[in-house]
Every structure is written in C-alpha cells, then in structure tokens.
Chain A
Amino acid sequence: MPNSLTIHRLIERLNSGDVTSRQATEACLNRIQSIDRELNAFIGFDSEEALTQADVADKTRANGGEGALLGVPIAIKDAIAVKDHPLNCASKILGDFVSPYDATVIRKLRNAGAIVFGRVNMDEFAMGSSTENSSHGPSRNPWNIKHIPGGSSGGSAVAVAADECVASLGSDTGGSIRQPAALCGCVGLKPTYGRVSRYGLVAFASSLDQIGPLTKDVRDSATMLQVIAGVDDRDSTSVSEAVPDYSSNLTGDVKGLRIGLPREYQVDGLDSEVKDSVNSAVECLAERGAEIIEISLPHTEYAIATYYIIATAEASANLARFEGVRYGARVNGSDPQEMNSKTRGIGFGEEVKRRIILGTYVLSSGYYDAYYLRAQKVRTLIREDYLKAFEEVDLIASPTTPTPAFKIGEKVDDPLQMYLSDIFTISCNLAGLCGISIPCGFSKHGLPIGLQLQGRPFGEPDLLRCAHTYEQATDWRNKKPKLD
C-alpha cells in the first residue's frame, strides 16, 4: 500500500504513474480510519481538503511539474500553524482557534508539493515525554498499545510508524522528536538550532525548540530537512548558513568518521537491552570504518536541572498569551485578572500548569540569580563540553532513551521521574546541536530501541551519512508493527 512507502519510493511510483497522489492520500486516510481509533495519533484532519490537494498534485505532475514532496501526504504536529486549520497544541485553552496564517515550514512543504494533512497528537504545549498530557487523550504505541509512544511528538511518531502518513513534522525541545521516534521505531531528526524556522511553531521554550521530521528512513529525513531548512526573515534566530545537499551526502561510507562515546552516559537505570543494542550498533559502525573514541561530557548530570529551569522559565512567558483576550476558550470573570486566572486554571492541563508555575517561580524576585541565571551559566558549561568533544570527534553515539517505552500511566504521578528519562536527549537542545534517532533493535517484549547520534552545530551531513550507513547495514526499518 502506498501509505507504507517511504517518501523516495512513493515519489518513484508517483513519477512512474504506478500510483497517484490521490491513491496515496486515500490509503493514508483509510489506514487512519481502520486503526487510529486504537492509536489516537490524529487530533483532526480534513479528508476532503487532503484529497483536493492530492488532485492538484496529480495535475501538477501530469503537467510536468516537480517538487521534492509533490503528492506526498505529511502529517503535522498540532503545534504548527496551518492557515485556516485549527491549532490546539492538544490543549483545551485554545478552544476553537483557527490559524489565520501558515508556519514557514508549512509554506515550504507546500512549495515542495506536499499534501499537508492532519493534525497529530502531542503532549499539551509539547510538555511531556509520553503524549499522555493531551486534552485529546493519550496516543498509543503501535508496537504495544498498552505502552506510551513517547512524546511530546508522540502522534507524529505513531502516524509514521503505523503508516498513517508517509512522513510527519514534530518539534523537539528536549528530545520530543528523537524520543518518540526511538520508542515507535522510526527516524526522528532534530536539526541544529536555527537551521529550521520556528515561525508558526507555538513556542514552548524558544531557545530550545526546533522543528524536525519523523520519517520511515534516513533518506526521507534528509529529503524533509532539505525542504524545511534555511534562513527565514520572520525568525530572527534562524541562521543564514548555506543549506547543503543532504541526500548527496548519503554515501554509505563512514570510514574515518570519529564517533564519541560519552563516559557519563553510563547512567543508573540504563536498561541492559538498550545498552546491548546500542553497543552492537556502535560495533557495526566500527566495522565499517568509523573510529570509536571514548569522550567525556563532565556536566551531563546537570543537564536535566538546567533544562527544567530554562525551559519552564521561557514557557512561563511564552504561554502568558493564552489568557482569553484575543482567542481561545475564555472563562468569564468579573475583571480581566479573574477572567485570565480562571481561563488559565481551567484551560491548561496539570503538567502545563506545573511547568508555568515552576518557570514563574525561578524568574521571580529573589530567585532569578539562584535559579535562572545559574542555569544559563551551567548551560554554557554544557555547551563548552560538547564543543570541546567535537574537536576530537565528529559525532556522539548513545541510546536515545534509557529504556524502551514504558506503560501508559506508569509515571504520570511522578513528574520528576518522567523528567529524568530525558537524560540523553536534553543536552543536544541546550547546546544547540543536531541529533537523530534511528531504530537499532527491539526489546524482548518487542518494543523498539533507538540509537541516538548527535552532531556539531550544522553537522547534519555527517549525522545523516552515519545514520544512513548504519540503517542500510541493518534491516530494523523493514519491521512493521502488527496492527490489523
């Protein structure tokens, strides 16, 4: 079925006329129809509009038109603005908000001919690691529906892993693309901070957020990045560095590539199956000519604390605009203050409230220096660790997550435990690096395990080359969850 194809296979078949974009889109819609009741990856979609886009793509192709994603159905995390479509961030507070504008990445997807369809589930405002914090209910792991799919871009990972779309967009603030990709067995790329415009991505933590693709293989990841990368005059933090040709870097060769293994990543609580799978993956790369070097990232143990201070502080301001004045589900009050407080008290879910409160606290008078300023300084130390390591190595390999997907409900009452599971992914955002998660095995219970590679800022070519080499040397990507 076309919905299970990668982007590049689908494009081949669209070009040869074997299949139409309408058929591919219908296949995705049918797949959603048959399995999404169980998986709950989608918050909403407009079948008719998707098919209209598909027909336009088919016509364009028939007229000789081209596009890297011409006719390819892509699902979008409910945190990215799509003009004339609802945008909720899986929150009640946005009510029946409809975006009057397109995010820059959406504009770019459209220019490349993509079928932009369907809003996928997430942790509310991207705050979470399990997609349990959604006003739309939790998404489920396609490999075992009793388990979480990871988060916050859980819906994006589920939709790709379960072939409900060909590829999707997610966002990654502390691992929110890589972690669900690892737990659902697909490829998740967090580009370097500034590589992809954030204009139109509802901000969680502005200095950490980055949009990236979730795909069925590494080549697709390169294709998607190629389309969405680049400087944007609507995002002051986007970087004007030239965008290289990512696909041409997928040479299948890692000879001479230096891969670092951080000593500090041997943490308590690292699952032995995860550890073994990652070790075998590293060996596989060594066999193909990569040089494996032990490195040190001495401030790793401070990353989570640093992250939760910085991310919540930024979030406390970013989410202040949701107060019921200009949009969203207002709860009335006798004066604006009461209206704001009630609207926010009822509209936000508990994790969001917890984080806003924490972020407000660490910025408040008397605490700023002790928490926020100190965290920013430790962030410098963490970043310096990485920049130093990247003098010796080209990439850093590690597990994406300490364990395979845990059960739904297992950690909801202990936010701190939930936060601690982000240990391997968080520093990448703090340091502004690029990172990718690719499948590298399964637990004995059949749950996917992810290998994470991190690269220096704008080191996506090496990152994708190495990920692709490993992927092609194994056949994890060909395994599909049994859902029917």
Chain B
Amino acid sequence: MNVDLSRVVRLARIELTSEEEHRISPQLAAVLRYVEKLKELNVEGVEPTAHAVPLENVLREDELRVSLTQEEALSNAPKTVNGLFVVPKIVE
C-alpha cells in the first residue's frame, strides 16, 4: 500500500516533520492494509448507513435567538482589529 502522504497532508493542512512522516507513513499503510478486509464482503445492493438512528425532517422554526456579543465572539481570537478576526493576508 503506497500512500501519497504529501497530497493528503496538503488537503488536511497538517505540516509534518520528516520524522513524523517517516513514522506515520508505515503506520498508515498498516492500517490501510488492515481495512482492506472490507473488500472480502459483497456489499452489492446494501444501503449505506450514515446515521445510527434514522430520523428525518428535524427542523427548527425561523425564530431569533440571542447571539453572542462582539466581545464574546472575539474573546478567543488570536488576533482582532475593529471587530474582525485577523488572519494573514489572503492572496487569490
């Protein structure tokens, strides 16, 4: 099992050290080998289960609830300016 770790970590936005990469890569391969087990089963015609307990039409009415204050909203922010959450400059 060969995993393109660099592609996956880029998607997951996780920077790994090279030691971590060396450790995780074979571990991941072992787990993926193990889960190959599922290929033994014939799942044709089987419906996938996304929810353990089937429910439907769980909705709320369009009614206002109290929001946080700006101060509360920003209270955990690493950096703020004028009520905004500050991030490094977004380049498109």
Contact = CB atoms under 8 A, between A and B. Distances in A.
Given A341-B13, A345-B14, A373-B48, A330 B31 contact: no
8 contacts: A96-B76, A100-B68, A236-B58, A308-B31, A320-B13, A335-B91, A378-B41, A416-B31
Interface string A411-446: 000011001000000000111100000000000000
A140 interface: no
A356 interface: yes
A357 B12 contact: yes
Interface stretch (A244-252, A253-261, A347-355): A347-355
Interface string A328-344: 11101111111111101
Given A100-B68, A207-B51, A360 B31 contact: no
A305 B11 CA distance: 23
A326 B28 contact: no
Nearest to A356: B12
A9 interface: no
B53 A432 contact: yes
B35 A357 contact: no
Interface in A258-281: none
A304 to B, nearest CB: 8
Interface in A342-398: 342, 344-346, 348, 350, 353-354, 356-358, 360-361, 364, 370-371, 373-381, 383
Contact of B78 (A309, A327, A361): A327
Given A350-B24, A379-B49, 14 more contacts: A100-B72, A193-B52, A207-B50, A233-B60, A308-B31, A309-B35, A326-B77, A335-B90, A345-B16, A358-B32, A374-B41, A374-B43, A376-B49, A377-B48
Nearest to B30: A416
A interface residue count range (under 10 / 10 to 19 / 20 to 34 / 35 or more)? 35 or more
Given A354-B27, A381-B43, A361 B3 contact: yes
Give the one of B8, B55, B68 with max A CB within 10 A: B8
Contacts of A342: 15
Contacts of A208: 52
A383 B52 contact: yes
Contacts of A328: 76, 78
B52 A429 contact: yes
Given A309-B35, A335-B90, A350 B20 contact: yes
B62 interface: no
A323 interface: yes
Interface of A is mostly: helix
Contacts of B55: 194, 236-237, 239
Contact of A360 (B12, B39, B53): B12
Interface in B1-36: 3, 5, 7-9, 11-17, 20, 23-24, 27-28, 30-32, 34-35
B2 to A, nearest CB: 12
A344 B15 contact: yes
A239 B87 contact: no
A378 B43 contact: yes
Contact of B76 (A98, A308, A340, A457): A98
Nearest to A344: B14
A364 B43 contact: no
A305 B38 contact: yes
Interface in A175-227: 192-194, 207-208
A337 B53 CA distance: 37
Interface residues of B, number: 52
Contacts of A348: 14
A353 B72 CA distance: 30
B72 A332 contact: no
In the A-B complex, the 8 residue pairs with the closest CB atoms: A432-B52, A345-B15, A376-B48, A327-B76, A330-B78, A377-B43, A193-B52, A305-B35
A434 to B, nearest CB: 11
B50 A376 contact: yes
A316 interface: yes
Contacts of A377: 43, 46-49
A324 interface: yes
A327 B52 contact: no
A306 B49 CA distance: 11
Contacts of B11: 360, 364
B75 interface: yes
Given A193-B53, A330-B79, A419 B31 contact: yes
A354 B27 CA distance: 8
Interface in B50-92: 50-53, 55, 58, 60, 68, 72-73, 75-79, 85, 87-91
A104 to B, nearest CB: 14
A382 B21 CA distance: 34
B24 A353 contact: yes
